[in-house]
Amino acid sequence: MALSKPIGVFDSGIGGLTIASAIKRKLPQASIIYFGDTAHLPYGDKSATLIKGYIRNISNFLFEQDCGHLVVACNSASSVLTNDLLPAGYQSVLNVIDPVVNRVVMETGIQTVGVIGTRRTINSHVYRNRIKKQSESLLVKELATPLLAPMIEDGFVRNSISRSVIHEYLKRLGPVDALILGCTHYPLIRTEIQEYIGNDVLLLDAPDLIADQLVKENDISPNQSGTDHFYVSDFTESFEQTAQSFFGASIHLEQRSIHPK
Ligand code: DGL
């Protein structure tokens, strides 16, 4: 399929920029329209009903911006995502859970897989259920780690506080052969997690898997401009500063309110 229309990427906030950045690295010619729902952040502690309403409104907005592809770059949103929430007409829709699940079940030699994420993601058991559907024998250990996302957003990475929080959580999880980083923010503490858990444990997260899937499924059309827009539902300077560390380059955030139809 030709990727001739922009790729819509959305998250509860700026964490999904880790996904947008991986897409941009692998598909520099593609145009990305990003929407971070900073007015409603965090999704991880919200009800499924509320998040479904946000998905409906944002996916409509991105479709109206002429996006042909939608990437739901938020684990909490992906855990409650159903097709009936989306406008008909997207050429493809990707969530951040399935590529990781498909990858982990392909691995040989893994018996126990851990999953960490927000309360919404973990309490939905979405990873466990989808893994078990494909590989009944895998033992899945789930742990909600709600302190990690705000900690990372506040810049607490690679210091004594982040190390203590990570160690305390991972101690509770116990030994695993693979660990799924089931939240958009966690790529920023991937190295710290790997250092604690050891190089023998396979760490899995969505950014590169999503980008690879877009590359595999689509031909980039030469008429793409490669121009990106980064919208947020609530703008603050601190969001713009933090956005840099998630995207890996300085970007300009534009405020845009979405009104339900
Ligand atoms: N983007 C969310 C996720 O991946 C984390 C932040 C939040 O709770 O909204 O689950």
Residue 121 in contact with ligand 1 by CB distance below 6 A: yes
Ligand 1 center–CA 74 separation, angstroms: 6
5 vs 69: CA distance, rounded Å: 7
Residue 50: predicted pLDDT: 97
Residue 144 to residues 63, 96, 98, 120, 124, Cα–Cα distance (Å)? 32, 17, 19, 8, 11
Residue 1: predicted pLDDT: 59
49 vs 80: CA distance, rounded Å: 9
Nearest CA to ligand 1 atom 1: 74
Q: What pTM does this model have? A: 0.95
Locate 195 and state its tokens. 């250092």
Closest CA to 54 of 117, 91, 10, 7: 10
Catalytic residue among 22, 33, 71, 74: 74
Q: How confident is the model at residue 220 (pLDDT cuts 50, 70, 90)?
A: low
Contact present, 72 and 55 (Cβ < 8 Å)? yes
Residue 99 in contact with ligand 1 by CB distance below 6 A: no
184 vs 97: CA distance, rounded Å: 11
Contact present, 55 and 221 (Cβ < 8 Å)? no
Ligand 1 center–CA 163 separation, angstroms: 20
The string of DSSP letters for 78-101 reads HTT--GGGSPTT-SEEEESSHHHH
Locate 136 and state its tokens. 């009944």
Nearest CA to ligand 1 atom 8: 44
77 vs 94: CA distance, rounded Å: 12
Residue 184 in contact with ligand 1 by CB distance below 6 A: yes
Is 183 in the active site? yes
Q: Give 225-256 pLDDT, tens digit per residue.
A: 789 999 999 999 989 999 999 999 999 999 99
Neighbours of 39 (CB within 10 A): 15
